[in-house]
């Protein structure tokens, strides 16, 4: 299978210039609305591709397909236009093919790796080592992260950094083997097992903060008690439960 191309006079039968093919299809008897980016198949003619333009109503109009490399380019009058959603409409005529050239930015090591253009006509940019980090305010993060606190229980229970409050049969214990803190309560409505850091990690206006917790729940919870973890104290904060 050759890539879509056109020939211009040059050597012998002409140089091949890669291009993209689009097909404008008139439809009628619409049942399901088309959507931009939807993959369309016409089984009889073998035409298939992605919808890039829609003009008309649910019942009648035209769609333009960006054709797949293996696609046919001539429709069969009256055949069904389908997608995974079902039958959308039927074809009127045989369609009109257009060959789209343009400025192509190719990869140096692979001429088939081209740059993508968004629906708004802008060049889609990316980062070599994954997506960039964006703050909670939608700003690109370029500065080094500043840690306000790190609490690991590898060597001890970090008791010098935390205030522990227990009552009603509640307990907070350090597992020396697996290096975690275990919070337990019974079904007593007044039971408590609370641990809060002495240091307050204050929010600075205009700067986003990020908190990472490692939590494992050993059961589905206890009646008359609420299980919460997060960033705050008994007066305010953000908690999961």
Domain boundaries, the chain: 5-100, 159-240
CB neighbour list of residue 177: distance below 8 Å, 6 or more residues apart: none
Quote the DSSP letter at residue 123. Answer: B
| pTM of the predicted protein model | 0.48
Quote the DSSP letter at residue 101. Answer: -
CA–CA gap between residue 113 and residue 105 (Å, rounded): 8
In degrees, to the nearest 5, what angle opens at C-alpha 101 toward C-alphas 98 and 106?
140
Q: How far is CA 173 from the centre of its chain?
A: 40
Beta bridge partners of 239: 230
Predicted pLDDT of residue 63 = 96
In degrees, to the nearest 5, what angle opens at C-alpha 63 toward C-alphas 57 and 68?
150
CA–CA gap between residue 137 and residue 121 (Å, rounded): 26
Burial 140-151 (b: 16+ CB within 10 A, else e): eeeeeeeeeeee
- Contact at 8 Å (CB) between 49 and 66? yes
Bridge pairing between strands 86-100 and 20-28: antiparallel
- For 78, half-sphere exposure in the C-beta direction (CA atoms, 13 angstrom radius) is 0
CA–CA gap between residue 68 and residue 215 (Å, rounded): 48
- In the CATH scheme, what is the code of domain 5-100? 2.40.30
CA–CA gap between residue 69 and residue 34 (Å, rounded): 21
Tokens representing residue 87 in the block: 């039958």
How far, in Å, are 6, 199, 211, 233 from residue 204 at the CA level? Answer: 60, 15, 14, 17
Predicted pLDDT of residue 11 = 59
Question: Strand, coil or helix: what is 156?
Answer: coil
Predicted pLDDT of residue 209 = 78
The burial class, CB within 10 Å (0-12 / 13-18 / 19+), for 42 is buried
Predicted pLDDT of residue 5 = 66
58: phi then psi, degrees, rounded to nearest 5? -60, -35
The tens place of each residue's pLDDT in the chain, 241 residues long, gives 466 666 666 656 667 777 788 999 999 999 999 999 999 999 899 999 999 999 999 999 999 999 988 888 899 999 999 999 999 999 999 999 988 776 677 777 777 777 777 777 788 877 777 777 777 777 777 777 777 888 888 889 988 999 999 988 889 999 989 889 999 988 887 788 999 998 888 877 777 777 888 888 888 888 888 888 888 887 888 888 8
Bridge pairing between strands 80-83 and 180-184: unpaired
């Amino acid at each position: 299978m050759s890539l879509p191309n056109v020939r211009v006079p040059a050597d012998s039968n002409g140089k091949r210039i890669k291009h993209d093919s689009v097909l404008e299809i008139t439809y009628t008897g619409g049942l399901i609305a088309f959507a931009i980016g939807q993959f369309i198949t016409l089984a009889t003619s073998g035409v298939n591709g992605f919808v890039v333009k829609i003009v008309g109503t649910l019942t009648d109009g035209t769609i333009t397909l960006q054709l797949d490399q293996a696609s046919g380019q001539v429709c069969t009058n009256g055949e069904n236009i389908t997608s995974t959603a079902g039958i959308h409409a039927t074809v009127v005529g045989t369609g009109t093919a257009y060959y789209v050239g343009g400025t192509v930015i190719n990869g140096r090591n692979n001429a088939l790796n081209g740059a993508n253009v968004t629906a708004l006509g802008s060049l889609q940019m990316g980062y070599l080592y994954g997506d960039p980090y964006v703050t909670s305010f939608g700003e690109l993060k370029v500065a080094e992260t500043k840690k306000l606190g790190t609490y690991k229980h590898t060597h001890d229970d970090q008791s010098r950094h935390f205030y522990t409050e227990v009552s009603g049969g509640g307990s907070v214990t350090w597992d020396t083997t697996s290096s975690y803190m275990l919070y337990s309560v019974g079904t007593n409505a007044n039971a408590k097992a609370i641990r809060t850091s002495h240091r307050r990690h204050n929010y600075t206006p205009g700067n986003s903060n990020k908190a990472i917790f490692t939590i494992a729940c050993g059961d589905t919870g206890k009646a008359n008690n609420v299980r919460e973890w997060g960033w705050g104290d008994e007066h305010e904060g953000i908690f999961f439960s």
